[in-house]
Amino acid sequence: MHFWRTAVALISALALGVASQTCAGGPIQNGEFKEGRNYFENVSDKMGILSYAKNFDVTYHKAYKIVTVRNPSLSPIKFILHLCNSPKPTEEGVSTTIAVPVTKVAIADSDIYSSAYIEALYVTSPCLLKQLADNQTQVYGDGAILTGSANVGFGAASPPGSPGTVFIRTEEAIRAEASPLARAEWLKFFALFYNGEDAANALFTQVEKLYSCQSAFAKVSKSTKRVAWLRAENLNKPADKFESYDEAYTSTLISDAGMEPLKLPPASSRDKTIEVLKQTDMLVEDTYIGVMSNYSWNTLSELYVADPRDTLAFPFVGTKGLDSLVFKPDRWRTIFGVDNYIYHHWAQPDVLLNDFLFASEYNVRLNRHGRWFRAVAAGDEEVAIGADKCSPDDPAATLVFPPGLDCSAHVVQKPGAGLSTGGSHGGSAAGITIAVVLAAALGVVIFIFRFDIMDKFHAFKEGRMGHGGDPIDSWSRTKGRNGAIELQ
């Protein structure tokens, strides 16, 4: 595996046209395509049967792949991935063709989750902050231009500064997958663009085994805990509408942890919510209240409780005060305030389950903190991940198993431990370029990056916020900006 250098560019809307993509890599050298040869003859070069994910699939032809993405609110999207230096194929009803392996990928802020899947394949560096500290990044001001076009983009629409780049919408399709392993299996989708099927198959097998190993142990030693994963739909004090957050996904995770999920329908009244809380042994509170929210026990009380006497009836409060089982999944953040959880946990269900199991047995005296789940009652603080912690997402460095459980044989391999991208079809060996493309003048670059773009990521996490409207559309209208991250 390779960890390539990373560069960051903030580009203004004045960007000029960009150069056309080049086609390099893969098994076919320029001018050496052989008509009739099956370049996908080896099984290892194919994705194989999907075990969990239902919203994408791929069929293989001699020198190309046809990929289908099914978004719940749209007609299925089909496109062709053809091997570099092979002729562009024609298929009825399919107009989009992309040469693979790609060397530069754009990720719109609507699909920021995509970055975690690509990073899981070790295509990009896991440590942008370290690159920044080492002056390996570049920050462009007004009028700067993007010097090369992306081969493909993931997002709802092409942002300013990337003319001609095909953008593929993935977020809705991934979110529609109901279980942690189904969403995680989408790493095979992103591997298709790098001809990295072999690596993705091996990586997902490890993730699946580690997740299943922990789940089997948890179900055998079944907990009696009832867990509610809730959010307020508005920020009134107290709020008047509540719901289970991402219900199908979180309920599956809770069940896989051997616990009982408590479900709350959308727009549930405060009285109904209080009744659920009176049955709740562990509460995960997932209301978005802003970047670097400093969500505290007081915040919880203001949102949920008008009568302090209600608190005494909540089992998750317990009798030990600081050991109350109420958590906010916002502990790890970057120095800019980005919530690591919202765009990494889909690609890392094995780590998520481990973190959740630890949280369920939380004891303040153990002085061990989870990665994402922050103990609210204990005053557990949000942690900014700086350049001194260059690989915060290395699961092997953080997974701790409870007594009697040993899943270490399934821990996902570290870089250099056997997995590779590209296989016999070649991967992308170019340096990484990350560009955030904005449609308005940048002003104070870092300030905007910290408070506008990242706040929007959180708004998107919530789907349609309780304040009304779509956070993507309303943010674009009021701020006049549209962002993208580009990976080269």
C-alpha distances in Å from residue 21, one per residue of 24, 104, 105, 157, 287: 10, 9, 11, 19, 42
- Residue 94, φ and ψ in degrees, nearest 5: -125, 115
Query: Residues 334, 185: one domain?
Result: no
- Per-residue b or e along 302-320, where b marks 16 or more CB atoms closer than 10 Å to that residue's CB: bbbbeeeebeeebbbbeee
Mean pLDDT of 313-322: 77
Distance (Å, rounded) from C-alpha 399 to C-alpha 36? 48
Mean pLDDT of 389-408: 62
pLDDT > 90? residue 310: no
Residues 343 and 115 sit within 8 Å (Cβ to Cβ): yes
Mean pLDDT of 120-129: 60
149-158 tens-digit pLDDT: 678 888 776 5
Q: Coil, strand, or helix at residue 456?
A: helix
Query: Residues 340, 437: one domain?
Result: no
Domain final position from 363, 380, 410: 410
Quote the pLDDT of residue 335: 57
Whether 159 maps to a domain, the answer reads yes
pLDDT > 80? residue 134: no
Quote the pLDDT of residue 146: 40
Mean pLDDT of 392-410: 65
Query: Residues 253, 184: one domain?
Result: no
350-387 tens-digit pLDDT: 989 999 998 888 765 666 677 789 888 887 777 776 65
Whether 140 maps to a domain, the answer reads yes
How many structural domains are present in the chain? 2
% residues pLDDT > 90 (the chain): 35
* Least confident piece of the model among 42-46, 113-117, 188-192, 219-223: 113-117
Whether 137 maps to a domain, the answer reads yes
Question: Predicted confidence band at 145 (pLDDT cuts at 50, 70, 90)?
Answer: very low
Mean pLDDT of 322-332: 84
Whether 202 maps to a domain, the answer reads no
Domain final position from 410, 438, 464: 410
Query: Residues 114, 242: one domain?
Result: no
Between residues 442 and 269, the one the model is more confident about: 269
Query: Residues 30, 55: one domain?
Result: yes
228-281 tens-digit pLDDT: 999 999 988 889 999 999 999 999 999 999 999 999 999 999 999 999 999 999
pLDDT > 60? residue 13: no
Quote the pLDDT of residue 364: 59
- Per-residue b or e along 166-197, where b marks 16 or more CB atoms closer than 10 Å to that residue's CB: bbbbbbbbbbbbbbbbbbbbbbbbbbbbbbbb
CA diameter of the chain: 78
Residues 113 and 171 sit within 8 Å (Cβ to Cβ): yes
Query: Residues 260, 374: one domain?
Result: yes
Whether 418 maps to a domain, the answer reads no
Query: Residues 259, 327: one domain?
Result: yes
Query: Residues 465, 385: one domain?
Result: no
Query: Residues 177, 76: one domain?
Result: yes
Q: What is the CATH number of the domain that holds 299?
A: 3.40.50.1980
Other CB atoms within 10 Å distance of the CB of residue 402 = 13
Query: Residues 178, 300: one domain?
Result: no
Query: Residues 87, 187: one domain?
Result: yes
My answer on whether omega of the bond before 415 falls inside 30° of 0, hence cis, is no
Quote the pLDDT of residue 54: 97
Query: Residues 181, 283: one domain?
Result: no
Domain final position from 375, 410, 445: 410
C-alpha distances in Å from residue 302, one per residue of 58, 189, 285, 296, 311: 49, 42, 13, 10, 11
Whether 371 maps to a domain, the answer reads yes
Domain extent, residue 230, equals 213-410
Whether 415 maps to a domain, the answer reads no
pTM equals 0.79
Whether 111 maps to a domain, the answer reads yes
